[in-house]
Amino acid sequence: MLKKFDKKDEESGGGSNPFQHLEKSAVLQEARVFNETPISPRKCAHILTKILYLINQGEHLGTTEATEAFFAMTKLFQSNDPTLRRMCYLTIKEMSCIAEDVIIVTSSLTKDMTGKEDNYRGPAVRALCQITDSTMLQAIERYMKQAIVDKVPSVSSSALVSSLHLLKCSFDVVKRWVNEAQEAASSDNIMVQYHALGLLYHVRRNDRLAVNKMISKFTRHGLKSPFAYCLMIRVASKQLEEDGSRDSPLFDFIESCLRNKHEMVVYEAASAIVNLPGCSAKELAPAVSVLQLFCSSPKAALRYAAVRTLNKVAMKHPSAVTACNLDLENLVTDSNRSIATLAITTLLKTGSESSIDRLMKQISSFMSEISDEFKVVVVQAISALCQKYPRKHAVLMNFLFSMLREEGGFEYKRAIVDCIISIIEENSESKETGLSHLCEFIEDCEFTVLATRILHLLGQEGPKTNNPSKYIRFIYNRVVLEHEEVRAGAVSALAKFGAQNEEMLPSILVLLKRCVMDDDNEVRDRATFYLNVLEQKQKALNAGYILNGLTVSIPGLERALQQYTLEPSEKPFDLKSVPLATTPMAEQRTEGTPVVAVKQPEKVAATRQEIFQEQLAAVPEFRGLGPLFKSSPEPVALTESETEYVIRCTKHTFTDHIVFQFDCTNTLNDQTLENVTVQMEPTEAYEVLCYVPARSLPYNQPGTCYTLVALPKEDPIAVACTFSCMMKFTVKDCDPTTGEADDEGYEDEYVLEDLEVTVADHIQKVMKLNFEAAWDEVGDEFEKEETFTLSTIKTLEEAVGNIVKFLGMHPCERSDKVPDNKNTHTLLLAGVFRGGYDILVRSRLLLLDTVTMQVTARSSEELPVDIILASVG
């Protein structure tokens, strides 16, 4: 492996890397030597190394030059030099996707894989599988089958692992090799057995029954290979997780592995058990005692594995982990700092409030010695502690602040900032201290992302504090000292102070005026824009343009604007025609998960709707529906699992229509379905306009059909509706092995589950950072209010959860979090109704014996308000 270069190497001129200054064109020129005879193996191997180095450094080779080099390389097969030949195999693999006609080496490789030189055989198999596409696979099938059962372990393993790779694009061919794989699975060689089981599992992974059978068969006879045991444990625990039941031979198998003679297997079993969801204390006990034993092992790797596993499950099974407290205490002083860190953070997560101070002190004694990765683990533990012991936040905050001041990489600093922000959000009394420490941090912060994030937070929270003016200095310093991205963030933060605080407005205007002269376009534009808005001194403008930003999707806006410029029209551009941004996941944090562990898949969510939009736009029947308003977040299954056909539905809402997209898979290998539609029968006045069939559904190849309906016009309030669904199609029987279908087919039908359309399908979540401002902006022209009793609900949390889910709107100002020991609560929800109308809901809840709810809804139109109230009542 190449050593990673650090700064020092770079500065000293990089003398340590002979390949550093390679030129692609020079290397390819050198490669012409391959055409010369006699061949010099040393020289050629060295040139191949250079080519591989370039490719691995990300150098782009054009098809022509790559192909030329590749064909020159093929001539090196004349030489019998073992090193050169191995380099050729590597080059073939690396260039298989860059050069053309790489199958030219097929016969040369099959010759090597069946030849006498054992050292060539395995690598030749791997190179061969890499260049073989599904059309060529039949030609080498015979050799692959032989290689899988070859008596030389390296050959057999190579063939098995390559088969696993081939499975991805040539499932049906590789499937035919299970008999050989079966034979290899009883090999005495531990690697061969492991690889064979891996292949068998992947061939059968979609067939639960077969997987279960396989586990019981191999475990009954016992396995030689500890790796194979580990694999079987993983497979078994995955099955168990999906079944949700513990009362199964699979669990007994995992349990029995706790007594295996290999430590690796024992650890794997213990780790699998403690990670299973919903394990009882009794089931956990033996696994935990194994981990406990490992905690005092002389082998550092075992201690590390045990304490890492305990650390991960500490929040889920606190009592089981507490049982190991004594052992963990011993590890606090372990000479291996990684082990010590994990031990301390585990104790922090499970320990009592009184031990926090002691442990924090202990850990600060060697904080400077551990790597960032483990520092993040410490931050995670602190974050978890803050949720558990809100009263301790002062101690913990101090610790976080001192960490913030020390050296550290981006991930580490981000974890700290995330943690501080979440503490501020949870505990209002910590807000002021938290904000001032963050202010101090951005005075000297090298990470743009963190600086802008904190500026945003200051803009949002600062104006609501007792002494907002003290933050201005810190923010304005950024405008003077930082580069443009941070300056732009600072300008936005300043504007937010001006929009919420009349006293400060004059001085904010002065500051913004200075920014109007900035060198950077973005900074200047923002300053000019905010200045103009603020000078109007209108609350509604402030709310719409400063406090609550754009809710549309930015790529969507870009596309809509481009479209508008391509087809100029008299009408002004309508912002309502732009699809909305899907709300950032970070805002929907669930309780209990430590903040730092939350990933942010915003991008994925945004692109999903875009993909749908593109697909739907390609269907002629859907022209003229206007922009796609919302796609339901997750497809609903309309069939039970393991039935003949698998149908899942996604709902796409447009201004006046809904398109139902049915993703269908036919799991019968002796049938091809044609002309597939899903017929729908609504309970309300929806009107089915047309069916767009899936032309053909061969075995196991997913296809899509659509049903287009118009929303009720007569009674526009009745939007909640149940549709009964029936799949109609023509069946053609076919030969399971060749897939060839009969010419004649017959009509058939298949009843699907009912499909619901609810209010939530008509509303898109949006986030209003400042709900009150938004509420005022919409105004009370179409306000309606009603009071309901929620007779079946017993707690405020439950009520809040249900309302949020039912209306599909976004809870603002963290109002989805009900404080402890309160019997009243106000939930604030924001959304956009189909057609682009803002809809806001304020719901006051009162808990006596049951929950009473007063719902007030506002919108810029009457219909959305009526629909909301009709749906609740």
Partner 1 sequence: MGLLDRLSGLLGLKKKEVHVLCLGLDNSGKTTIINKLKPSNAQSQDVVPTIGFSIEKFRSSSLSFTVFDMSGQGRYRNLWEHYYKEGQAIIFVIDSSDRLRMVVAKEELDTLLNHPDIKHRRIPILFFANKMDLRDAVTSVKVSQLLCLENIKDKPWHICASDAIKGEGLQEGVDWLQDQIQAVKT
Residues that bind partner 1 (CB under 8 A): 35, 37-38, 71, 74-75, 77-78, 101, 103-108, 110-111, 136, 139
3-state secondary structure of 769: coil
Our CB check for partner 1 shows the closer of 72 and 385 to be 72
Query: What is the closest distance, in whole angstroms, from the C-beta atom of residue 156 to partner 1 in the complex?
Result: 22
- Which two tokens mark 604? 């994925």
- Tell me the C-alpha to C-alpha distance, in Å, between residue 760 and each of 63, 267, 445, 484, 554: 51, 46, 42, 40, 23
3-state secondary structure of 707: strand
Distance, in Å, from the CA atom of 427 to the CA atom of 335, rounded to the nearest integer, reads 37
Query: What is the closest distance, in whole angstroms, from the C-beta atom of residue 24 to partner 1 in the complex?
Result: 21
Query: What is the closest distance, in whole angstroms, from the C-beta atom of residue 111 to partner 1 in the complex?
Result: 6
8-state DSSP, 79: -
Our CB check for partner 1 shows the closer of 52 and 103 to be 103
Our CB check for partner 1 shows the closer of 55 and 137 to be 137
The answer to whether residues 190 and 224 touch, using CB atoms and an 8 Å cutoff, is: yes
Our CB check for partner 1 shows the closer of 132 and 672 to be 132
Our CB check for partner 1 shows the closer of 38 and 58 to be 38
Distance, in Å, from the CA atom of 185 to the CA atom of 148, rounded to the nearest integer, reads 10
Our CB check for partner 1 shows the closer of 112 and 268 to be 112
Query: What is the closest distance, in whole angstroms, from the C-beta atom of residue 176 to partner 1 in the complex?
Result: 19
Our CB check for partner 1 shows the closer of 110 and 639 to be 110
Query: What is the closest distance, in whole angstroms, from the C-beta atom of residue 380 to partner 1 in the complex?
Result: 55
What counts of helices (H) and strands (E) characterise the chain?
A: 37, 17
CA angle 194, 198, 204 (to 5 degrees): 145
Our CB check for partner 1 shows the closer of 110 and 157 to be 110
The answer to whether residues 310 and 346 touch, using CB atoms and an 8 Å cutoff, is: yes
Our CB check for partner 1 shows the closer of 100 and 241 to be 100
Query: What is the closest distance, in whole angstroms, from the C-beta atom of residue 590 to partner 1 in the complex?
Result: 56
Distance, in Å, from the CA atom of 434 to the CA atom of 421, rounded to the nearest integer, reads 8
Q: How many alpha carbons fall within 13 Å on the CB side of residue 289?
A: 8
- Tell me the C-alpha to C-alpha distance, in Å, between residue 819 and each of 390, 427, 845: 12, 10, 13
Q: What is the dihedral of CA 502, 506, 512, 513, to 10 degrees?
A: 150
Our CB check for partner 1 shows the closer of 38 and 620 to be 38
By CB atoms closer than 10 A (0-12, 13-18, 19+), residue 344 is: buried
Give me the count of residues in the chain: 873
Query: What is the closest distance, in whole angstroms, from the C-beta atom of residue 740 to partner 1 in the complex?
Result: 25
- Which two tokens mark 772? 């009150």
Q: Which residue has the tokens 């500890």?
A: 226
Query: What is the closest distance, in whole angstroms, from the C-beta atom of residue 78 to partner 1 in the complex?
Result: 5
- Tell me the C-alpha to C-alpha distance, in Å, between residue 150 and each of 111, 118, 156, 211, 386: 15, 11, 5, 25, 59
Query: What is the closest distance, in whole angstroms, from the C-beta atom of residue 617 to partner 1 in the complex?
Result: 39
Query: What is the closest distance, in whole angstroms, from the C-beta atom of residue 125 to partner 1 in the complex?
Result: 15
Our CB check for partner 1 shows the closer of 39 and 734 to be 39
Our CB check for partner 1 shows the closer of 73 and 320 to be 73
- Which two tokens mark 870? 């009709």
The answer to whether residues 851 and 818 touch, using CB atoms and an 8 Å cutoff, is: no
- Which two tokens mark 521? 């376009």
| 755: Cα separation from own chain's centroid | 28
Backbone angles phi, psi at 837, to 5 degrees: -95, 130
Residue 829 bridge partners (DSSP): 811, 841
Query: What is the closest distance, in whole angstroms, from the C-beta atom of residue 137 to partner 1 in the complex?
Result: 12
The answer to whether residues 582 and 765 touch, using CB atoms and an 8 Å cutoff, is: yes
Instruction: Spell 279-298 as b/e; 16+ CB within 10 A means b.
Output: beeebbeebbebbbebbeee
Query: What is the closest distance, in whole angstroms, from the C-beta atom of residue 98 to partner 1 in the complex?
Result: 16
The answer to whether residues 49 and 72 touch, using CB atoms and an 8 Å cutoff, is: no
Our CB check for partner 1 shows the closer of 54 and 105 to be 105
Q: How many alpha carbons fall within 13 Å on the CB side of residue 169?
A: 12
Our CB check for partner 1 shows the closer of 77 and 447 to be 77
Our CB check for partner 1 shows the closer of 119 and 593 to be 119
Backbone angles phi, psi at 489, to 5 degrees: -60, -40
Query: What is the closest distance, in whole angstroms, from the C-beta atom of residue 99 to partner 1 in the complex?
Result: 11
8-state DSSP, 580: B
Distance, in Å, from the CA atom of 828 to the CA atom of 772, rounded to the nearest integer, reads 9
Our CB check for partner 1 shows the closer of 78 and 824 to be 78
Query: What is the closest distance, in whole angstroms, from the C-beta atom of residue 105 to partner 1 in the complex?
Result: 6
Query: What is the closest distance, in whole angstroms, from the C-beta atom of residue 127 to partner 1 in the complex?
Result: 13
- Tell me the C-alpha to C-alpha distance, in Å, between residue 734 and each of 8, 206, 672, 729: 67, 22, 7, 15
Distance, in Å, from the CA atom of 583 to the CA atom of 390, rounded to the nearest integer, reads 28
Distance, in Å, from the CA atom of 604 to the CA atom of 861, rounded to the nearest integer, reads 32
Query: What is the closest distance, in whole angstroms, from the C-beta atom of residue 109 to partner 1 in the complex?
Result: 9
Query: What is the closest distance, in whole angstroms, from the C-beta atom of residue 340 to partner 1 in the complex?
Result: 58
Our CB check for partner 1 shows the closer of 98 and 190 to be 98
The answer to whether residues 796 and 614 touch, using CB atoms and an 8 Å cutoff, is: no
Q: Which residue has the tokens 């669990």?
A: 251
Is it true that the peptide bond before 38 is cis, omega within 30 degrees of 0? Answer: yes
Distance, in Å, from the CA atom of 486 to the CA atom of 489, rounded to the nearest integer, reads 5
